[in-house]
Structure 1
Amino acid sequence: MGSTGEPTGNFLLDYPRPVKTYRSQNYSRISPANFDGKGKTVLVTGGATGVGWAITHAFAETGAARLVLVSRSPGPLEKAKKDLNISDPNVEVLTFAASMTDHARMDEVVAEVGTIDILILCGAATHKHIPSIQVDTAEMQETFDTNVVGPFHIIKTYLGLPGPKTKTVINISSSAAHMQIPNQVGYGSSKAAFNQIMSLYATEHVPADGVRLFSVHPGVFYTPMAATQYGEGDFQWEDIEVPAGFCLWLGLAGSEADHLHGRFVWAQWDVDELIALKEKVESDRNFLKIGLMQ
């Protein structure tokens, strides 16, 4: 998509959705003021920039006890920690410069942090916006290592450790997982692959046993990652606070979202309308999942 200087509108509004209300802008129902994060430890990969930073900052506003940020880049981590300490001197901020593809290092991070109440997987990689036959195989491998194998390993480690009464994992996915977008062969396919892994994890670990697993399309925002592919005027960008508040709801609203365990939802879908879908979700094991249906 070339830069035109004028937003093209939000084509995502045209896609089928299970709720009536699509929330492109933030709304009071998912405001940090409505959630209590006291005593919680939240680990966010990719938590120093973009959507990850918005999520981290939202949890800070709920009074979370510890915020753990993991990123490959030390600079953004240092800035994020400084900003969090200024806004709330009482929150403990731990930062780790590490790649999700370094499994041994991620094991060390999880072990050092100890108890983790909410794990949010927000780090991601993509290749250049080019035709599939031009994508270097090494770039494709890196995309899958970062978007699939790395998160798989982190969850495996996290769920295998003793921990809190309830463990919550939120996978920040993408609508690209169920779209056919030209010149993005690795990104959408890797996101779809990991959504399926999340669904499979969810068959083995359930809320009744203290494990809650969700995959979320966050929206479309003009982040540094988006800027590598698009111009600021190419799209009607959405409010980055929406996925931040949506993650608060998934992580801190008790059992309100338990029926969405193992499902793939969009942050822009109104949360009260999602709650109203509980009977439909529980009666249809394939609803809000990616897969082949007859």
Structure 2
Amino acid sequence: MRPRGNVQFDNSGRVVLVTGGAGGIGLAICQAFAASGATTYAVDVSQPEPGVELPAKLILGDVSQREDCQRVVAQVVEEAGALDVLVNNAAIQPPDSYRAIDQLSPAVWDKMVAINLSGYTYMAMAVAAVMRKQQSGVIVNMASAQGHRTAREVPAYGPIKAANLMQAKQWGVELAREGVRVVSVSPGAVGTPLLRASLAQQGGEAPLANRHPLGRIAEPPEIAAAVMWLASDGASFVTATDLEVDGGLGAFAAFADPFSVTTIPGQNDH
């Protein structure tokens, strides 16, 4: 096998905060930053799963509550003296969100907006003020391939993730002359507890993997690697844009299965 190359990051002295950092992609991001020397904090509503070691200081908090976001950021700055990277990662996509729009529970919609959209905003409100004073910093929004293209029975997650993309663009423009970069990352399917909880709604693991040209589901460290690059000086001229880390999904088609030919208008008219 030919050499593949390797990238190494040095985040010594940097302070990083990852929302939803106790598991899934957030945990992988915490692991990557901590391994590269960063002082790493995670905010989450719960502890890591038993047996999982979190290489970050965990602060319990709910990002859907603005007061929690303010408290968490204040604690990080008080303890570490700065905040260099925010990764907005905390998000939910419960199985009961896979519904047609007229069958979606308003309670599910409200909860997803509160965490996946307002949570990103509340964290950015608190962090942007710190980064303005520093005249430096990077904010990374975890978006999704579903923010770029859609399928049936996902009326909440995709539209909210599309808003996460626009948040990064707007904040990136807003803060561009303040020394602060803002970007987003759009993964395809990633092997996390969040995904595995809804595999049945997505057609099963093999069909879901097959929708990606690379023929597999991503591993969380692959997404973390993209975040690490975007947060580094290697991406110093990258802001207000998105990086799709989706195994070719966006170039090929979409998450959606084809419609049945029996649903073509007029197909069954007699």
The TM-score by the shorter chain falls in which range? 0.7 to 0.9
Residue 152 of structure 1 corresponds to 121
Residue 121 of structure 1 corresponds to 88
Say whether residues 1:43 and 2:17 are aligned partners: yes
Residue 242 of structure 2 corresponds to 264
Residue 276 of structure 1 corresponds to none
User: Residue 269 of structure 1: CA displacement?
Assistant: 8.4
CA contact (8 A) 2:149 2:158 kept: yes
Residue 241 of structure 1 corresponds to 221
User: Residue 145 of structure 1: CA displacement?
Assistant: 1.2
Cα deviation 1:253-288 (Å, max 9, x = unaligned): x1x323330111113689xxxxxxxxxxxxxxxxxx
TM-score by length of 2: 0.78
Distance in 2, Cα, partners of 1:160 & 1:57: 26
CA contact (8 A) 2:147 2:158 kept: yes
CA contact (8 A) 2:185 2:244 kept: yes
Find the partner of 2:57 among 88, 94, 97: 94
SS in 1 for 2:11: coil
Say whether residues 1:251 and 2:231 are aligned partners: yes
Change beyond 3 A, Cα 1:67–1:152: same
Residue 59 of structure 1 corresponds to 33
Residue 188 of structure 2 corresponds to 219
Which consecutive unaligned segments of at least 5 residues does structure 2 have? Answer: 210-215, 249-270
Change beyond 3 A, Cα 1:77–1:264: farther
Say whether residues 1:201 and 2:179 are aligned partners: no
TM-score by length of 1: 0.72
Distance in 2, Cα, partners of 1:79 & 1:242: 19
SS in 1 for 2:75: helix
Q: Percent of aligned pairs with the same residue?
A: 25
Change beyond 3 A, Cα 1:68–1:189: same
Number of residue pairs the alignment of both structures matches: 227
User: Residue 111 of structure 1: CA displacement?
Assistant: 0.3
Larger radius of gyration: 2
Distance in 2, Cα, partners of 1:258 & 1:50: 27
Distance in 2, Cα, partners of 1:39 & 1:212: 18
Which structure has more RCO (C-alpha within 8 Å, separation ≥ 6)?
Answer: 1
SS in 2 for 1:155: helix
CA contact (8 A) 1:68 1:95 kept: yes
Cα deviation 1:142-194 (Å, max 9, x = unaligned): 11111111111110111113654411000010010111211111000001112
Point out 4+ residue stretches in structure 1 off by more than 4 angstroms.
Answer: none
User: Residue 222 of structure 1: CA displacement?
Assistant: 2.0
Residue 262 of structure 2 corresponds to none
Find the partner of 1:108 among 49, 66, 71: 71
Residue 258 of structure 2 corresponds to none
